[in-house]
A and B are shown apart, each in its own frame.
Chain A
Amino acid sequence: MGWFKRLSEGIQTSTTQKKEAPDGLWQQCRGCGKTNTVKELSNNYLKCPDCNHHVRIGSFDYFNLLFDGRYKELFKSIFSYNFLDFEDVKSYDERLESANEKTTLNDALTVAIGKIKRKPIIIAAMDFAFIGGSMGSVVGEKISQAVDYAIKNKTPLMIISKSGGARMMESAFSLMQMAKTSVKLAELSREGIPYFSFLTDPTTGGVTASFAMLGDLNFAEPNALIGFAGPRVIKETIKKDLPEGFQRSEFLLEHGFLDFIVDRQELKDKIGDLLHFFSKS
């Protein structure tokens, strides 16, 4: 399997947690604290073999997992720049540059087309490693173009969300991406083309409050943090501790905001089934 080989070479986005050791790369599990080798994780769909914690992975990890390594990236040549001359402790330019160096990605969302169980699907996947998966103009524009592509080719669309929210350094422009993606999804919906929203850890802020909650089906990986406000903000506001499991996938399922939760191991089969279900031929 194509993705298997790639995964063995190293997980795309978790460099900060990786440790060099004499016998290869290791990673400490954020779920149970156990140390797993990258190979162990790769053999287990990038999940902890002990506690089933789903490691945060990147767009290309999902493409490899779902498309068996056979896909074509779309809208590669769109990228962000510091059009507001935004500067906090660092300039936005510097942030973009270091994110690009760290991830080799252009921005926090990558779009690809491929097939799952012989059915074509467009997948737009977010990368948390790129400025916290934040949504700026590029994320919005790629989703917009992905919708146009889906309509033109009558192909279902899936967005894999993984984001801290809107990108502050693009200020109101990033806020407007909530509107932009929503008007485009309204267009897709009118054409009767399926849109699956797949929410992964974490999905918060303006991303949740726009396209991530607007799927014909909304589903999530287990134990993913999903919410509007971040838990820290809520805690500071209400000055109370948050209940166990608050804003996790299972909590959202219980409260009626997810259709189902899917284990990464079953993801490909599940999406394949959905594509066959919605396919008219």
Chain B
Amino acid sequence: MVFLEFEEPIEKLYGQLEKIMDVADQGEIDVQDKISEIESKIRNKRKEIYAGLNGWQKVQLSRHPERPYTLYYINQICKSFTEIHGDRYFGDDKAIVGGLGKIDGQSVVILGHQKGVNTKMRQYRNFGMANPEGYRKALRLMKLAEKFDLPVICLIDTPGAFPGIEAEERGQAEAIARNLVEMAQLKVPIICYIIGEGASGGAIGIGLGDRVYMLEFTWYSVISPESCSSILWRNWDHKAEAAEQLKLTSEDMLGFGLIDGVISEPNGGAHSNPEKMAKLLKKQIKKDIAELSEVTVKKRIDTRLKKYNSMGRFKTK
């Protein structure tokens, strides 16, 4: 288990638990009551800590190394899944995955950013930072969904689109912009779920939809707290403060009306009970597909347009 800084009291309790287990292994004393007591303490402490997390702590949770990623959810949610590869122009991006899935009999096109589960895979997935061909693959999948009248599910989890020489040469900006304008008018339902990090253009590049949800301990912002700190404070030390200022939590975003809902995470976050998290996500996906499928194409696109057009705060003289 990996414990974050603010989970120290929980880590201590686990330490106690381990010691008692050792005693139990020696088999001389009955420690069952003591174990139950500590387990209950852990649950309560978790609840207490997780109820009072600040923005920066939620950012850390969204990056927890044991947090489930897109392919985990796809495999849990879809009875069958065929991954499809490539943008048909340049290559296959490993930081965005997608394919054809069946959710309890409903065919869907499901895609998302993919981070690696260990050091080697993190490199392979480029830390979830997509190149233009990732966005173009996503668009190809969406157009396929449109052709066969299937809903599109996007899972978002990226620290940003990749800032590299080749990414620029192949038009990172154009790829994201193209996705936005195409997603604006896609004839089938698009539903987006932020499952981890929602950083800037890299996130919204597959994040424009009829409905957008955030898992409880995720963030969505125009810039990461670290980059914000380095630009505005001119050093990296103000990331916690930047996270507060950016108001990037799921709760903030719902309050602003910029997302449609928050999906609660199990006690201790998605990584403490990934199966349960996947079930909760699946339930929400099924509900959204059912509701959006009842709306006509025209109505859906009009509503989508109006929703985005109403975003923004300003004064008029």
Query: How long is the Cα–Cα vector from A185 to B183 in the complex, in angstroms?
Result: 12
Give the nearest-CB partner of A88 in chain B.
B232
Query: Do B248 and A171 have beta carbons less than 8 Å apart?
Result: yes
Give the nearest-CB partner of A144 in chain B.
B309
Contacts of A243 in B (CB 8 A): 165
- The A/B interface has a contact count, at CB < 8 Å, of 195
Query: Do A257 and B220 have beta carbons less than 8 Å apart?
Result: no
Instruction: List 20 other contacts, CB 8 Å, given A228-B168, A229-B168.
Output: A79-B315, A84-B245, A86-B245, A88-B238, A88-B242, A137-B313, A138-B312, A138-B314, A168-B231, A172-B221, A172-B253, A175-B220, A176-B204, A178-B180, A179-B184, A189-B181, A209-B172, A238-B164, A255-B170, A257-B171
Stretch at the interface among A7-15, A52-60, A210-218, A270-278: A210-218
Query: How long is the Cα–Cα vector from A78 to B242 in the complex, in angstroms?
Result: 27
Q: How many residues of A contact B (CB 8 A)?
A: 65
Query: Do A137 and B314 have beta carbons less than 8 Å apart?
Result: yes
Chain B nearest Cβ from A170, distance in angstroms: 8
Query: Do A228 and B172 have beta carbons less than 8 Å apart?
Result: yes
Contact with A along B5-27 (1 / 0, CB 8 A): 00000000000000000000000
Of B204, B248, B314, which is within 8 A of A79 by CB?
Answer: B314
Contacts of A208 in B (CB 8 A): 173, 177
Of B170, B185, B227, B314, which is within 8 A of A141 by CB?
Answer: B314
Please provide the chain B residues from 151 to 195 with a CB less than 8 Å away from any CB of chain A in the complex.
161-165, 167-174, 176-178, 180-181, 184-185
Query: Do A78 and B316 have beta carbons less than 8 Å apart?
Result: yes
Query: Do A206 and B247 have beta carbons less than 8 Å apart?
Result: no
Query: Do A172 and B181 have beta carbons less than 8 Å apart?
Result: no
Contacts of B222 in A (CB 8 A): 166-168, 170-172, 174-175, 206
Query: Do A234 and B311 have beta carbons less than 8 Å apart?
Result: no
Chain A nearest Cβ from B303, distance in angstroms: 11
Contact with B along A169-203 (1 / 0, CB 8 A): 01111111111101111110110000000000000
Closest 10 CB pairs of A and B: A229-B163, A137-B312, A182-B180, A208-B173, A88-B232, A228-B173, A213-B177, A228-B172, A183-B184, A175-B222
Give the nearest-CB partner of A174 in chain B.
B222
Binding site for B on A (CB under 8 A): 77-81, 83-84, 86-89, 136-138, 140-141, 144, 166-168, 170-180, 182-187, 189-190, 205-206, 208-214, 227-230, 233-234, 237-238, 240, 242-243, 246-247, 251, 255-257
Give the nearest-CB partner of A252 in chain B.
B171
Give the nearest-CB partner of B160 in chain A.
A229
Contacts of B312 in A (CB 8 A): 136-138, 140-141, 173, 176-177, 180
Query: Do A228 and B201 have beta carbons less than 8 Å apart?
Result: yes
Give the nearest-CB partner of B170 in chain A.
A255
- A182 and B200 contact, Cβ closer than 8 Å, known pairs A79-B314, A171-B248, A234-B165: no
Query: Do B205 and A209 have beta carbons less than 8 Å apart?
Result: yes
Q: Tell me whether B304 is interfacial, beta carbon within 8 Å.
A: yes
Query: Do B311 and A180 have beta carbons less than 8 Å apart?
Result: yes
Query: How long is the Cα–Cα vector from A209 to B201 in the complex, in angstroms?
Result: 7
Contacts of A190 in B (CB 8 A): 185
Give the nearest-CB partner of B168 in chain A.
A227
Of B163, B184, B313, which is within 8 A of A234 by CB?
Answer: B163
Residue with the greatest number of chain B CB neighbours at <10 A, chosen from A170, A178, A240? A178
Query: How long is the Cα–Cα vector from A177 to B308 in the complex, in angstroms?
Result: 8
Query: How long is the Cα–Cα vector from A78 to B317 in the complex, in angstroms?
Result: 7
